[in-house]
Amino acid sequence: MVNRRQGSVQVTHDTEYFRRRAAEARAAACSKDEPERAEIAGELALAYAALARRRAAAAEIASAEELPAIKLDTIA
């Protein structure tokens, strides 16, 4: 989703985006060629995984808030 406000672009990523990025970073972290880059990729993998969990939790809370606990039209 892209929101345009006063010439700036704000991009919102979903849970799947962060999960994909975490998987890519984990794959890069398994590389034995450059230890420094592998360490950074490992840190990125952890960060992207945390963002995916946080985004999923926020989406779950938002969907729970949309539905009323008791349907008001069925109460008589």
Q: Where are the domains of the chain?
A: 14-60
Return the closest-CA partner of residue 25 out of 12, 38, 9, 41.
41
Long-range contacts of 20-26 (CB under 8 A, 24+ apart): 21/48, 22/48, 22/49, 22/52
Q: Is the pLDDT of residue 50 over 70?
A: yes
CA 52 to chain centroid: 3
Q: Is the pLDDT of residue 69 over 70?
A: no
**Average of pLDDT values for 52-59?**
88
* pLDDT tens, position by position, 56-66: 888 888 777 66
Confidence of residue 76 (pLDDT cuts 50, 70, 90): low
For residue 58, the SS3 value is helix
What does the alpha-carbon distance between residue 47 and residue 33 come to, in Å, rounded to a whole number? 22
- In the predicted model, what is the mean pLDDT of the chain? 78
Amino acid identity of 24? E
